[in-house]
Chains A and B, each alone.
Chain A
Amino acid sequence: SQSTSTQFDLKGYWTTLIAEINQKLDQAIPVQYPGKIYEAMRYSVLASGAKRAPPIMCVAACELFGGSRLAVFPTACALEMVHAASLIHDDLPCMDNDPFRRGQPSNHTTFGVDMAILAGDALFPLGFRHIVYHTPSELVPESRILRVIAEIARSVGSTGMAAGQFVDLEGGPNSVDFVQEKKFGVMAECSAVCGGLIAGADDDEIQRLRRYGRAVGVLYQVVDDVLDAKVQKSEGKEEEKKKKGKSYVALYGVEKAIEVAEELRAKAKKELDGFEKYDESVLPLYSFVDYAVDRGFNVGVSSS
């Protein structure tokens, strides 16, 4: 499978989709009265440099089963909206207190804490609204839309990402696995599952996408942690204290983290092997897995 996945042009697939998704997101949030809230929402959703991993994984999962982009785009965009809402609230002074996000001032730094809270509060329902009013009903039956809405709501809710953020803030021994799974695994899991749901995948296939997505989501983060550790080592930074409890590397060390990453990579690919009857349609999902690892280790090597 490794040889086939390298033949797939993920970069081209990704770049094309990013442009389309950015355009749809731009149209989805027109500025109206009161302008400030729409600007705050747009600021985070349309931030430049966003990789759009959740919507792209969602589209790829939908296309695996022959679902159309027209059917899945509203859901893909909604994932990005609720994801942005979570990140805005995570960055707040009373939470992670991050003045920056992706090298830009975070939402509350630019618009104030009150507006940042409200922007998040508005982006969650906008996601659901967008799915309901923009998914073509002739392509997606309402019963599927309800499953997608339930999936997204559960993923961002009190047993999903909010739980991950809570345990992250509270700290506590051995919380890293829980935090990684909930804060990062859940979004990818939800993205893959929603794509499958829109396309009408059967329950076994949905479960497979669930395990695949979760593995890839955590994999990304573990690799990020390894990367950060290498950068910090080479630059002599001592920020690990702040990150302690949130990072695999801080808890287990680099070698063990790399081992975990390899296990996750194998696990994700094993799940995809179950989709072999779909032939080439599964290639984008394979290439996500290798990209998650290789991007990290390449960058890590070049910067050391």
Chain B
Amino acid sequence: EEHNSWPKSTFDFKSYMRQKANNVNQALNAAVSLRDPAKIHESMRYSLLAGGKRVRPVLCIAACELVGGTESMAMPAACAVEMIHTMSLIHDDLPCMDNDDLRRGQPTNHIVFGEDVAVLAGDALLAFAFEHIAVSTIKVSPLRIVRAVGELARAIGAEGLVAGQVVDISSEGLSEVGLEQLEFIHVHKTAKLLEGAVVLGAILGGGSDEEVEKLRNYARGIGLLFQVVDDILDVTKSSEELGKTAGKDLVADKVTYPKLMGLEKSRELAEKLNREAQEQLVGFASDKAAPLIALANYIAYRQN
């Protein structure tokens, strides 16, 4: 019954991901060192270095390499995107927000360090993300770095990530949440930062405006795909398989794609988003596009 639709390719996605994630982890570890005051930095490191697949930073690096840049050009931006992602999770888990005690099987940041430190650690990660791009990006013109900073700021603020969270919070428990609103939430909560990751990589790697826009469309597609698949897995998989509470969205009365359009239509939507995302990569050198194609397939066909 497993979807075994991995495309046949000589590209070894697993070892690519392992290698890149390893490099990202090393860079993150070095970027956020234990400084004074120790507790804030411990708190930042606790969540930032907690593992995870590092999908966003790998996307950033892959996009940079696709347009002719190198991994090192994109690494500070890749780390910055992960810092922002981590920060949004820390704040999301707070008692006044989703009130989650566990994240990836570990106590959440505020459980370990207290709410006050969790808020500050999040703020500090947010600020440091910008400092890190501005200070540590090498061999890229200041013009491109400034553009990248602007893109990141747009992706995470009131017209990006935060907008998604606001609409998500205010639609909880509502019976009348339509497809349009659901899409707004996911595009902003999930897709904007994925888009940011890819676009930053493309800009820093020296991509042309046309290349940057193609990759932006690719990222938007897989961002939404990510969420559609998440919703499908939530109704088709057990908690054990997912490593989290399955059906939690149903219990919490959250609106999902399967609820709104049924399972079959949701699967069709996922197929369509994946196909359209990959169409954006036509025209790029196929060996360099392989990681992004594999990443789209990974998001589409993952089992947890």
Contact of B117 among A38, A121, A124, A166 (CB under 8 A): A166
Which stretch (A154-162, A201-209, A225-233, A269-277) binds chain B? A154-162
Q: Complex formed: what's the CA distance from A165 to B118 in Å?
A: 12
Tell me whether B143 is interfacial, beta carbon within 8 Å: yes
Is A115 close to B, CB under 8 A?
Answer: yes
The reply to whether B128 and A122 contact each other, CB–CB distance below 8 Å, is no
Pick the contact of A158 from B128, B147, B156 — CB < 8 Å?
A: B128
Docked-complex contact B167 and A34, CB < 8 angstroms: yes
> Is B150 a contact partner of A129 (Cβ separation < 8 A)?
yes
Q: How extensive is the interface on chain A, given as a class?
A: 35 or more
Alpha-carbon distance between A133 and B41 when the two chains are bound, in angstroms: 31
C-beta contact mask, A115-130 vs B, less than 8 Å → 1, else 0? 1011011101110110
Known: A121-B91, A153-B131, A163-B36. 4 other contacts (CB 8 A): A34-B163, A124-B123, A125-B153, A145-B146
Among listed A47-55, A61-69, A89-97, A294-302, interface-contacting one: A89-97
Which residues of chain A are near B141, meaning CB under 8 Å? 142
The prevalent SS among residues of A at the interface is helix
Q: Which residues of A contact B119 (CB under 8 A)?
A: 89, 92, 94-95, 117
Whether B123 lies near A146 (C-beta < 8 A) is: no
Are A158 and B124 within 8 A (Cβ)?
Answer: yes
Please give, as numbers and ranges, the residues of chain B lying within 8 Å of A34 by CB-CB distance.
163, 166-167, 170
Question: Are A158 and B158 neighbours in the complex by a CB distance under 8 Å?
Answer: no
Q: Report if B242 contacts A (CB, 8 A).
A: no
Residue interface bits B110-137, CB-to-A below 8 A is 1, else 0:
0000111101111110111111001100
A260 at the interface (CB under 8 A from B): no
Of A122, A159, A169, A170, the contact of B162 (CB 8 Å cutoff): A122
| Known contacts A150-B135, A157-B128: A122-B157 contact under CB 8 Å | yes
A162 lies within 8 A of B124 (CB): yes
* 8 A-B pairs in the complex with CB atoms less than 8 angstroms apart: A117-B119, A128-B152, A129-B153, A141-B142, A156-B127, A157-B127, A158-B35, A158-B37
